[in-house]
Amino acid sequence: MKKNTKSTASKKQQWDSALILPRVEKRASDKDEDYASFSYWYSSTSGVFNLRDIVVAIQRGDTCDRIRSLLSPHQTEFQSLKLKHEICGTVDDIPAFFFVVESGSAEMIRMWASYGGEVNTEYREVSLLVYAMVRCLSPKADGPVMVATLLSLGASIDSVPPPFYLPIDRDLPEAGPSDAELAVFKQAKTGWVLGPVRRLLTDALNSCFTLRYALHRASITEPLSGANQAIAKKHSATGLLGVHYFLVGQTQACQSLVEIFMAQLALGADRPIILLFAGPSGHGKTELAQNMGKLLSLDLQTVDCTNLRTSMDLFGPFFPFAGYDQSSVVNNFLDEHKSQRSIVFLDEFEKTQPNVQEALLLPFQSGLYLDRRNQQIVDCSKTIWILATNAFDDTILSFCKTHYRELFTNTVGLDKRASHQARALGKELSAMIKKEAIGKFGAPLTGRITSVIPFLTFSPTEQAAVACKEMDRLGRKLARPVKLCDDLKLYRPVGNIKLQIPFSYSVCKALASQGYDEQLGARSIINTVDSEVRCHCDPVPCCTGGDLRRR
C-alpha cells in the first residue's frame, strides 16, 4: 500500500507552521498491510484494542465517558502494563496523547494519563505541554485548566526556555524572547524556538498570563520525595500532589494540605483529619476544598453554618422528635460514606453555636458517629472535616503586612531560601491562629484540630493572575454561539465574540490594582472585570459575531 507523500508533507507543514493536527481517517479493514508496523492495534482476551479508532472517536467529539468505555474493557491489560506501550503509541506518526489534548478536555487528559499515557511525550520537537499552551489561542478551549492538569500529572517544563516565563511580571515582546535571552538556554528538545512555534507560543502566553504564572509556579515548586509519591500512587492520590496548579496563590496552604494527607496515608491513622482553613473571603478556602475533592474523586458536602443554631440543625433530631426519620443532609452523608473517604466542608464555622461545636467533639475525636435515624454507629474515621472561618482575618492581614517582603518575594523570583523563610513564617502564623482559636472555639474542639492552615492575601502578581483567570472564563462565555429563543434558560443574546487581550499581564495588572481589596479577595477583582469588561459587551452586534479587543 503506497502512502500519499504529498499529503503527508502538507500535513507536516501545517504542523510546523501552526501546530495543526490532521484529521485521522478510520481504516477500511483491520487487515491493512501496514497494520503490523504501527503500535495502535492489539488483540487480547478483552477484544481488539484499536488506537486509531479511539483517536477517530476523540476527533469526532465523543465524550470522555464514551472514550472511557472504549478503554475500560482493557483495564486489566493496562494495569499489567501490557497495553501501556499501545496507549503511548502513535497514529499517523503522531503520539495519540496530542489528539487527546486537541479535544480540549482536561478530564480526558487525566483519564488518558491514568491508563498510562505519557505526559512528557513530544512530536517533531514540540512537547505536549507546549502544544497545550498554544491550544489556548482557541477561545473555546479551557487551555489554562488543560495546562494545569498536565503540570499536576508531572509534565516537565524543561521544554520551555525560562525567558518565556521569567521575569514573571512583564509582557513578552511580540516576537518572543530575544535570541540573546535564549542563547543561554541550550537543550536538545527546543529546536522549535527557532521556528514559527516560537511566535505561536508567545501569542498564547501574552494573551493568557495564567499560563506564564503556571510555568513560573512549576519552576519554584519542590517535588515531594519519591517515598511520598509512591504512597500517593498506592492510594490513588497522585492527583492531589498537583493541587497548587489549580489555585492562584496559597502555595503554603496547598503544601500543608498535601503533607497532612500523605502523613495519614503513610501512618494508616484511624482518626479523621480536622482542618481549620483560616483566611479572608475570596482567597481560595472553598476552591481548595473543591479541588481536593475533585482530584481525589471524593464526594464533598458543603454546610452553610450561618443558620446552625442547635446540633439538630447540623445532624437532625433524635427519636422521637418530628423529622427524625429524615434526619439531616450531614447525618445522611456520613452514613452513605461510612468507612470511606469523603469531605465535609463547614463554611463560616465561626457562626456556629457552642452546642453545635460540642456535638462535633465525638466524631472529631474517635471517628465514630451515631446515626440519629436508627441509633446505629457510623464509622467516619476517614472523613475529612474542613472548618472554614474568617474569625482570624485581622491577625492574618496584619501578619501579611508586617512580613510582606518575606512572604511574597518568591512570587516573582527563584530564591529557594526565601521560599523556606516564607514556610517558616507560615508555621508561625498557624501557631498564632491556633492560640486564638482556643479562645474562640474552646480548648476541647481546638485540641482536636489536626492542622490550622492560614490563607494569605494575594501579591500583585497573584492579583493579576486572578484577573486573568476571570477574563479567561469570560472569554469562553462570550465565544459561545448566540441563541435567540423563547426558553429563558437557553436564551443567549450575547455570543460569537472572540475576546482578545494581546498583552494580558498589563491589562490584568491594571484591573487588579484598581479593584483588589484584601478583605474581599478574588471577588473584588471579579467585580472589577464585570464593571470594566463584561458590561461593555453589546448584545446587538454579537448576533452576527465580532471581536472585543482590550489593550
State the pLDDT confidence band at 153, using cuts at 50, 70 and 90: very high
254's grid cell: 496547598
Question: Which has the closest alpha carbon to 140: 466, 470, 474, 480?
Answer: 480
Instruction: Give the chain's radius of gyration (CA, Å).
Output: 26
| Per-residue pLDDT at 19 | 87
179 band by pLDDT with thresholds 50, 70 and 90: confident
- At 41, the pLDDT band (50, 70, 90 cuts) reads very low
> Lowest mean pLDDT: which of 187-191, 304-308, 403-407, 440-444?
187-191
Please report which confidence band the pLDDT of residue 259 belongs to, taking 50, 70 and 90 as the band edges: very high
* Domains of the chain, each with CATH number or no CATH: 49-160+168-220 (1.25.40), 226-454 (3.40.50.300), 460-536 (no CATH)
Helix, strand, or coil here: 413?
Answer: coil
The pLDDT tens digits of the residues spanning 403-462 come to 999 888 755 545 556 677 888 999 999 999 999 999 999 999 999 999 999 999 999 999
| Cα gap 476→496, rounded to integer Å | 10
Q: Whose grid coordinates read 481488539? A: 48
Contact 261, 255 (CB under 8 A): no
Amino acid at 539: P
Distance CA 53, CA 67 (A): 10
Cβ-based neighbours of 48, under 8 Å, separated by 6 or more: 30, 41, 42
Contacts of residue 394, defined as CB under 8 A and 6 or more positions apart, other chains included, come to none
Integer Cα distance of 324 and 333 in angstroms: 15
**pLDDT tens-digit map of 83-92:** 677 888 999 9
Confidence bin at 548 (pLDDT 50/70/90): very low
Higher-pLDDT residue of 178, 132:
132
pLDDT of amino acid 73? 82
pLDDT at 46 over 90: no
pLDDT at 322: 73
Q: What is the pLDDT of residue 143?
A: 86
- Partnered with residue 500 across adjacent β-strands are 549
What's the pLDDT score for residue 28? 60
Most trustworthy range by pLDDT among 41-50, 187-196, 218-227, 430-439: 430-439
User: What average pLDDT does range 245-249 have in this prediction?
Assistant: 96
523 Cβ neighbours under 8 A, 6+ residues apart = 281, 282
Cα 34 versus chain centre, distance: 40
Q: Of all residues in the chain, what percent carry a pLDDT higher than 70?
A: 86
Q: Which of the four pLDDT bands, split at 50, 70 and 90, describes residue 138?
A: confident
- How confident is the model over 41-70, as a mean pLDDT? 82
Instruction: Please give the mean pLDDT across all residues of the chain.
Output: 86
What is the pLDDT at residue 82?
A: 60
Rounded to whole angstroms, what are the CA distances from 522 to 246, 281, 470, 519? 14, 8, 9, 9
Under the banding of pLDDT at 50, 70 and 90, the label for residue 40 is very low
Q: Give the Cα separation of 359 and 382 in Å (integer).
A: 18
User: Is the bond preceding residue 541 a cis peptide, omega within 30 degrees?
Assistant: no
Question: Does the structure show a pLDDT above 80 at 351?
Answer: yes
Model pTM?
A: 0.88
Q: Does residue 489 surpass a pLDDT of 50?
A: yes
| Model pLDDT, residue 27 | 72
Q: Identify any residues that bridge with 546 across adjacent strands, giving them in sequence order.
A: 497
C-alpha span between 87 and 113 (Å, rounded): 9
Chain segment 277-296, per-residue pLDDT in tens: 999 999 999 999 999 999 99
Give the DSSP letter of residue 222.
P
The C-alpha atoms of residue 491 and residue 519 are separated, in whole angstroms, by 35
Q: Is the pLDDT of residue 57 over 60?
A: yes
DSSP H or E segment with residue 109: helix 106-114
- Note the pLDDT of residue 6: 55
Give me the amino acid identity at 389.
T
Cβ-based neighbour number of residue 539 at 10 Å: 12
